[in-house]
Chains A and B, each alone.
Chain A
Amino acid sequence: MKKKLVIVGNGMAPGRMLEHLFELAPDLYDVTIFNAEPRVNYNRLMLSPVLSGEKTYEDIITHGDDWYLANGVTLHKGSKVEAIDRVARTVAAADGTVAHYDKLVIATGSVPFVIPVLGHQLPGVVTYRDLDDVEKMLAAATPDAKAVVIGGGLLGLEAAAGLKMRGMDVTVVHLMSTLMERQLDPPAAHLLEQEFEKRGIKIRTKSNTHSILGESKVMGLKLEDGTELPCSIVVMAVGIRPSTALAKASDITVNRGIMVDDQMRTNDPDIFALGECAEHRGVVYGLVAPLYEMARTIAEVLVEKPAAYGGSVMSTKLKVTGVDLYSGGDFAEAQDREEIVLRDASRGVYKRLVIKDNKIIGVVLYGETSDGPWFFDKLKKGEDVSKDRDMLIFGQAYAGGPPLDPTAAVAALPPDAEICGCNGICKSKITDAISEKGLTSIDDVRAHTKASASCGSCTGLVEKLLVLSLGEKYQANAVQPMCKCTDLGHGDVRRLIVAKQIKSIPQLMQELEWKTSCGCAKCRPALNYYLIAEWPGEYEDDNQSRFINERVHANIQKDGTYSVVPRMWGGMTSAAELRAIADVADKFQIPAVKVTGGQRIDLLGVKKEDLPAVWSDLNAAGMVSGAAYAKGLRTVKTCVGSEWCRFGTQDSTGLGIKLEKFMWGSWTPAKVKLAVSGCPRNCAEATCKDIGVICVDSGYDIHFAGAAGLDIKGTELLCHVDTEDAAIEVIAALTQLYREQGHYLERIYKWAKRVGLESIKTNIVENVEKRRNYFARFTHAQTFLQVDPWAERVSGKHAHEFLPMRSFPMQIAAE
């Protein structure tokens, strides 16, 4: 029988440990994990980009549900272990779950420290540790709202930068006289402070918090010197403490952290401690690199390989976009050390090396950090630097030769130079993997070596290794850029629009550094859509960024004439409507009238200048634009259903009409077509539509992500609902999720494939509150979008589109 391995805590360290373990011995253990957080494992280091809007939670998941499934790991989400019974060898969680273990790993991480000042329990006081904290901050992050961050360390500054990017007014309150005093010396800290102030973040050093103000929620923060800072949210980022309560209660030896030996064992030989909760040789670590080394050690010990963890030296980078800062080792001033400093005020560069016994023991780099790994490599190896001391501070570019370009500099690194500090991956490991496994992208390298998969700071170095290994074959952009006007992909642009509160195309091109003066025919329609979708009622549609069909609300034909398709709600029409269509065809001598594949009628060959008059007549008979040209709601096909058909189970025609009347006018990333069939015989072909409904006796099966154009694909079942109202709510919410996530021109089935059916089901089916929110946002947007574009133009809007500027009808001798 397999041995039972139980893990308490599902953070970064145990995630890594399991990967090693499964690599070494996939079938040795039956693994159960308890996670107090109600979710899978994600990259905690990347919370700041989620906070700032540069990434989403989905982007930072490291082990998704499918990973647990594939590896046979039982994960108890939202289940906090409260007791370990070392005699019975079981753990028990607050929710009543009990698990038996042969080996137990405690990986409870840290708890953020909260300063117990008056008011620290008020709603609005948050710490910064997990996704829930980020969500709390985002909920408070309305533009122009005020935030105070207590703590000017790594976490506090990342939080401040993120909240600022969300449009908040941010003040950082820091007890010490300089920022990040544990990683930076004062001159570098000063440069950092200037950079933050330049971004509009206020910094108050040497400031102690007296109390947090407010009755029922945070209203402000009072400093010891009496200053009051009004704010609606206080982020406490003042430090962390190893989370040891569980171990202590079970009589496991705890000092500052849970004490472990070189095999990461506690005083109970079957119980290990891993990660930030562990104390090894008197040191408690707070960065991932050492934790990953511990993780490897435990995995090896678990399969009975000889292994020992010997402690780590660490380096840090601050992950705030646009700030370059690197520090590693020890840089306190002392008698026995010398230092080499380089300052270049005009470029904002500062470099400092601390040297002891001719060896580098500390590095601080600001403004230009590319030599960080090179110095750190010498530091870790304890290399004697006496012979090139003079040029040392200039970095590897000057080390014994002419200056190198950045790629050549990476080429010159020794094979054992460390590239990825978080994961301890050296250069040769990456280049070997590239050549042996045929890797071609950053994502490949991440998947196979883990390099650049944690904090991401070394991505540039890894890219250079790809360039060196693959040359021309390497496509630098793992993300497909939107078009030649930018290097950003669609997803990046959508996130940055929200994060930077971008509300117009010119502003967007300015802030996201578009390479062309006004975009191109690929990006402009996409940007126009993203802005409409993001800022309903606020953004002013840019007509000139729309394709001609959406500009004149008809489909251009090969000869420059247009086709006109009025809505026929749910495919239903009447004698009066048909008569009006016939009259229009006669009156304007429209050459072709055709029944479309979408259950309505197309008038083909209309002259552009006749369009407003044609619409006026159709409007008069009660018809509106069918949007046959739109990246928006097209048709809702129906069958006759229970009204007439002997097999009909529900009123499919009626539901189709309701859906079309509720959803028309909506702009979407690509066209959206619906169908409702009255029974599983499916005469409306609902199972190849973007969204389809199959009526059954017990209600409505809602399908989505079908295709029957360039690709053919049957739909996926989203859920079953009992009532028409519930069906409409689910469908509108699903459409809204797609409106917010879809890339321009990406049909629903492609979007679903990209984001995963599971995430869509979670948002729309499982999480009722989220569904309601998506539904509410759809409904809100509709209040601005349900204006018949034909009626608008009949009454004169964009009249210039339909009229020549001037006509010279015939040859005249003289004017």
Chain B
Amino acid sequence: MNWIDIGAVDDVPVRGSRVVTTTAGDIAIFKTADSRVFALWDKCPHKGGPLSQGIVHDDSVTCPLHNWVIGLEAGEVRGPDQGCARKVETRLEAGRILLPSHILGRKAA
């Protein structure tokens, strides 16, 4: 797999997220309180709410539209509801965040 640098870990707020836009839709990049980084397609399995706009807590995010709670690691819906947000692989190198190039519609880095 080829990887593309999308920015610094420091660019994402702690307990927050940023968006990477692509032709296939937005990807939400999350950072937890202990600075772990995760990426999911920015679409809630419920009604497509932008997960990047939710509140990040522990290793999950609460969707801003109807409060479903989604696990950041695998994108699974927690609690009584069912469903899964699609996960995007990430890689960290020297304080930079990398995403797979094919996801971004790119050939190679």
A interface residues, Cβ below 8 angstroms from B: 516-521, 524-525, 543-549, 556, 558, 560, 800, 804-815
Q: How far is the CA of A518 from the CA of B65 in the complex (A)?
A: 21
- CB of A815 within 8 A of CB of B4, answer yes
Q: Per a CB cutoff under 8 Å, which of B23, B57, B64, B105 touches A520?
A: B57
B91 contacts the other chain (CB 8 A)? no
Contact between A808 and B64, CB atoms less than 8 A apart? no
Q: Which of A524, A556, A809 contacts B64 (CB 8 A)?
A: A556
* B53:A556 contact, CB within 8 angstroms: yes
> 9 tightest A-B contacts by CB?
A521-B62, A805-B18, A521-B55, A548-B53, A544-B15, A518-B33, A560-B50, A807-B21, A548-B64
Residues of the A chain whose Cβ atoms lie less than 8 Å from the Cβ of B106: 808, 812, 814-815
Chain B residue numbers with a CB within 8 Å of A543 are 13, 16
Residues on B with C-beta less than 8 A from A560 are 49-50, 53
Does B40 lie at the interface of the complex (its beta carbon under 8 Å from any beta carbon of A)?
Answer: no
Chain B residues closer than 8 Å to A517, beta-carbon distance: 33-34, 58
B49 surroundings in chain A (CB, below 8 A): 560
A542's nearest neighbour on chain B, judged by CB, is B15
Within 8 A of A (CB), among B52-105: 53-58, 62, 64-65, 67, 69, 104-105
Instruction: Verify A547–B14 contact, CB threshold 8 A.
Output: no
CA gap between A812 and B16 in the complex, in Å = 30
B31 CB, nearest partner CB in chain A, Å: 10
In whole angstroms, what is the CA distance A547 to B50 when docked? Answer: 13
- Which of B12, B21, B55, B58 makes the CB contact (< 8 A) with A525? B55
Whole-angstrom distance from the CB of B29 to the nearest CB of chain A? 6
B1 within 8 A of A: no
A544 touching B104 by the CB < 8 A rule?
no
5 CB contacts below 8 A, A to B, read A518-B58, A524-B57, A808-B106, A813-B107, A815-B109
How many residue pairs link A and B with beta carbons under 8 A? The number is 97
A518 touches B13 (CB 8 A): no
Q: How far is the CA of A811 from the CA of B23 in the complex (A)?
A: 7
Give the chain B neighbours of A556 by CB distance below 8 A: 50, 53, 64-65
Cα of A518 to Cα of B15 in the assembled complex, Å: 9
- A127 to B77, alpha carbons, bound, how many Å? 58
Known A813-B107, A815-B108, A815-B109; contact A518-B57, beta-carbon cutoff 8 A? yes
Q: Pick the contact of B22: A516, A524, A544, A808 (CB < 8 A).
A: A808
Chain B contact residue count (CB 8 A cutoff):
39
In the assembled complex, the Cα of A516 lies from the Cα of B58 at a distance in Å of 7
Quote the shortest CB–CB distance from B88 to chain A (angstroms): 13
In the complex, what residue of chain A is closest to B109 when comparing beta carbons?
A815
Q: Which residue of A is nearest B18, CB measured?
A: A805
- Given A520-B62, A556-B64, A558-B65, CB of A809 within 8 Å of CB of B57: no
On chain A, the residues within 8 Å of B47 by CB distance are: 558
Name the contact of B7 in the complex, choosing from A518, A544, A806 (C-beta under 8 A): A806
Residues of B within 8 A of A809 (CB): 21, 23
Asked if A808 and B107 sit within 8 Å, CB to CB, the answer is no
SS class, residues of chain A in contact with chain B: loop
Q: Give the shortest distance, in Å, between B13 (CB) and chain A (any CB).
A: 6
Give chain A residues whose Cβ lies under 8 Å from the Cβ of B23.
808-811
Chain B positions within 8 Å of A516 at CB level: 57-58
Chain B contacts of A805 at CB under 8 A?
6-7, 11-12, 18-20, 29
A808→B56 CA distance, assembly (Å): 25
* B55 close to A544 (CB less than 8 A): yes
Closest to B29 in A: A805
Residues on the A chain within 8 Å of B29, using CB: 805
By a CB distance below 8 angstroms, the chain B residues around A520 are 55, 57-58, 62
Contact A808 B65 (CB under 8 A): no
Q: Is A808 touching B55 in the complex (CB atoms < 8 A)?
A: no
A556 to chain B, nearest CB (A): 5
C-alpha spacing A813/B104, complex, angstroms: 11
Contact A808 B105 (CB under 8 A): yes
A-side contacts of B4, CB under 8 Å: 815
A804, B18: Cβ atoms under 8 Å?
yes
CA distance A516 to B57 in the complex (A): 9
Chain A proximity of B99: nearest CB distance (Å) = 9
CB proximity of A485 to chain B, nearest CB, Å? 9
Of chain B, the residue at the smallest CB distance from A523 is B57
Contact A814 B107 (CB under 8 A): yes
Q: Provide the residues of chain B in CB contact with A807, threshold 8 Å.
A: 20-21
Q: B57: nearest residue on chain A (CB-CB)? A: A520
Say how far B43's CB is from chain A's closest CB, in angstroms: 9
Interface residue from B13, B19, B64 paired with A544 (Cβ < 8 Å): B13
The reply to whether A806 and B57 contact each other, CB–CB distance below 8 Å, is no
From A547, A549, A558, A800, contact of B11 by CB (8 A): A800
Q: Inside 8 A of A558's CB, which chain B residues have their CB?
A: 47, 65
A813 CA to B107 CA in the complex, in Å? 6
Query: With a CB–CB cut-off of 8 A, which chain A residues contact B33?
Result: 517-518
Q: Which residues of B contact A547 (CB under 8 A)?
A: 55, 64
Q: Is the CB of B58 within 8 A of A804?
A: no
Give CA–CA (A517, B14) in the complex, Å: 13
Measured between beta carbons, the chain B residues less than 8 angstroms from A524 are 55, 57
A548-B64, A556-B50, A815-B108 given; 17 more Cβ-contact pairs under 8 Å: A516-B57, A516-B58, A518-B58, A520-B57, A525-B55, A544-B55, A547-B55, A548-B53, A805-B19, A806-B6, A807-B20, A808-B20, A808-B23, A808-B104, A810-B23, A812-B106, A812-B107
Question: Given the complex of chains A and B, what is the CA–CA distance between A202 and B108 in angstroms?
Answer: 69
For residue B46, give the distance in angstroms from its CB to the closest CB of chain A: 11
Q: Write out the residue numbers on chain B whose beta carbons fall within 8 Å of the beta carbon of A812.
A: 105-107
B16/A544 in contact, CB under 8 A: yes
> Complex Cα distance A549/B67, Å?
14
Contact A519 B7 (CB under 8 A): no
Q: Which residues of B contact A519 (CB under 8 A)?
A: 57
Q: Which residues on the B side are within 8 Å of A518 (C-beta)? A: 15, 33, 57-58
Q: How many whole Å from A626's CB to the nearest CB in chain B?
A: 20
Contacts of B26 in A (CB 8 A): 804
- For residue B42, which residue of chain A has the nearest CB? A560
Task: Name the distance in Å between A541's Cβ and chain B's nearest Cβ.
Answer: 13
B18–A800 CB distance below 8 A: yes
Complex: A285 Cα to B1 Cα, angstroms: 83
Residues of chain A within 8 A (CB-CB) of B104 are 808
Smallest Cβ distance from B66 to chain A, in angstroms?
A: 10
Contacts of A521 in B (CB 8 A): 54-55, 57, 62, 67, 69
Q: Which residue of B lies closest to A807 (CB)?
A: B21
B7, B15, B67, B105: most-surrounded residue (chain A CB, <10 A):
B15
Whether the pair B64, A806 counts as a contact (CB closer than 8 A) is no
Contact across chains for B50 and A804 when beta carbons are under 8 A apart: no
Q: In the docked arrangement, what's the CA distance between A547 and B64, Å? A: 7
Q: What distance in Å separates the Cβ of B33 from its nearest Cβ neighbour in chain A?
A: 4
Residue of A nearest to B64 (CB): A548
Q: Which residue of A lies closest to B104 (CB)?
A: A808
CB distance from A345 to the nearest CB of B (A): 38
- When chains A and B are docked, how far (Å) is the Cα of A543 from the Cα of B16? 9
Question: Which A-chain residue is minimally distant from B4 (CB atoms)?
Answer: A815
